[in-house]
Amino acid sequence: MGKFDLKDNYIEEKFIGNIDIEDKNWKIGVIVGSSGTGKTTIAKNLFKKDYIEKYKYSAESILDDFDKSFTVDDIVKTFNSVGFSSPPSWLKPYSVLSQGEKMRVDLARSIMEKKDLIVFDEFTSVVDRDVAKIGSAAISKTIKRTDKKFIAVSCHYDIIEWLEPDWVFDANEMKIKWSRGLLRRPKIEIKIFERKGMWNIFKKYHYLDNKLNKAARQFVAYIDNKPVGFCGILHFPHSKAKNIKKVTRLVVLPDYQGIGIGFKLLNYIGKYYKELNMRLRIVTSTPSLIYSFKNSSKWLLARKGRSPDSSKTGITEFTKTSSKKRYTTSWEYAEG
């Protein structure tokens, strides 16, 4: 103080505002403002017991950083719900994940805590802005399916419409504005092309292996000219039906998971083959994908359980894969 001739009144900040939340039925709120406007101080003081501090990670697999009372199925279900659906990444330590993946792991841990309210500071502060928007949309969908409330604390205004919050407290103005029903997430334009040579971008994120049959037709989904999703299609060998195609690889890049890109890609390809009088099938054990199929009128459940005996069904393809060891579901596109 003496060196720079500072007085007490220059280093003490005071601010007055009001977050009046009378409506108890809200789900998502946002505290936003420029750096130095007091967002963190406000969040810590008003929501102290619900404020999320930084988690500690030390295990070789992030699965082992979660409380031992949770099963792997519990953790994986939450991972899928926040759009972190890349099994290879589940086995990695937290330190090597991308910033977008780290954000989703932190959110998964907060959701699994026994709290009715989650206050998440520096939300999307260190991720690419496109990734931040996609992640915000995924988190919004997740929270609205739970019985929890969520408050994002951020210096970025660009995420607000993607979160579709019920209220926004602007620390620059020290005012709260109710936004329920007034904000709509911008439409995400997805373009799909059949394009060879793109598998290298996606292969390390596939949950089985990184091989792709050379005969596979390859479809790629793009957002703003960025490749974000991949689907490989092969002929389905069957002793009777000769017009069945199957999905052999389906991958969405981690930073773009949680907003239904993979499902939109499947619907596009299913309709494409339907118009050619072909049938499209997919075998999956992924919870988020199964959820989408169950809630869609475009897909019908063809089978569930472990792969059937090929000598009785005439289906030989499963005997070449590990799917016969896993409990899976099989779905077929049924609507043009």
CATH number where 115 lies: 3.40.50.300
Task: Give the chain's radius of gyration (CA, Å).
Answer: 23
- Residue 186 covered by a domain: no
Q: Which helix (H) or strand (E) holds 15?
A: none
Report the relative pairing of strands 28-32 and 149-154 from DSSP bridges.
parallel
- Please tell me whether residues 117 and 214 are part of one structural domain: no
> 284 vs 16, which has greater pLDDT?
284
- DSSP category for residue 53: P
Model confidence pLDDT, tens digit, residues 181-190: 888 888 989 9
**Boundary residue ending a domain (178, 208, 227):** 178
Residue 152 has phi, psi (to 5 degrees) of -95, 130
102 and 71 housed in the same domain:
yes
Q: Are residues 161 and 297 in the same domain?
A: no
Closest to 170 (Cα-Cα) out of 183, 180, 182, 160: 160
Q: Which residue has the tokens 């220059």?
A: 10
Q: Which residues pair with 193 in a beta bridge?
A: 220
Q: Indicate the residue type of 142.
A: T
Q: What are phi and psi of 88, to 5 degrees?
A: -55, -35
Instruction: State which of 145, 178, 211 marks the end of a domain.
Output: 178
Q: Are residues 169 and 229 in the same domain?
A: no
Question: What range defines the domain where residue 244 resides?
Answer: 191-333
Place of tokens 């052999």: 248
Structural domain ending residue among the three candidates 149, 178, 207 = 178
For residue 36, pLDDT over 70 is answered with yes
pLDDT digits (tens, 9 = 90+) for 136-177: 998 999 899 888 999 999 999 999 999 999 999 999 998 899
Predicted confidence (pLDDT) at residue 321 exceeds the cutoff of 50: no
Shared-domain flag, residues 214 and 120: no
The CATH number given to whatever domain includes residue 199 is: 3.40.630.30
- The CA-atom distances, in angstroms, between 183 and each of 23, 111, 150, 161, 208 are 18, 24, 17, 6, 39
184 falls within a domain: no
Give the mean model confidence (pLDDT) for residues 72-76. 90
Is 251 within a domain?
A: yes
CB 97 within 8 A of CB 108: no
Percent of the chain with pLDDT over 90: 49
Confidence (pLDDT) at 317: 43
Q: Are residues 174 and 239 in the same domain?
A: no
Residues 128 and 252 in one domain: no
**Do the domain assignments include residue 280?**
yes
Q: Are residues 293 and 161 in the same domain?
A: no
Transcribe 202-254 into DSSP letters. HGGG-SS-S---TT-EEEEEEETTEEEEEEEEEE--BSS---EEEEEEEEE-G
CB atoms inside a 10 Å sphere around CB 179: 18
Same domain assignment for residues 223 and 85 = no
Q: Is residue 202 part of a domain?
A: yes
71 within a domain of the structure (yes/no): yes
Same domain, residue pair 165 and 27:
yes
In the predicted model, what is the mean pLDDT of the chain? 86
Domains in the chain, number: 2
Same domain, 232 and 322: yes
Partners of residue 217 on adjacent β-strands = 233
Tokens of 63: 């699965």
The answer to whether residue 156 sits within a structural domain is yes
- Confirm whether 90 is domain-assigned: yes
Q: Which residues contact 311 (CB under 8 A, 6 or more apart)?
A: none
Are 256 and 148 within one domain? no
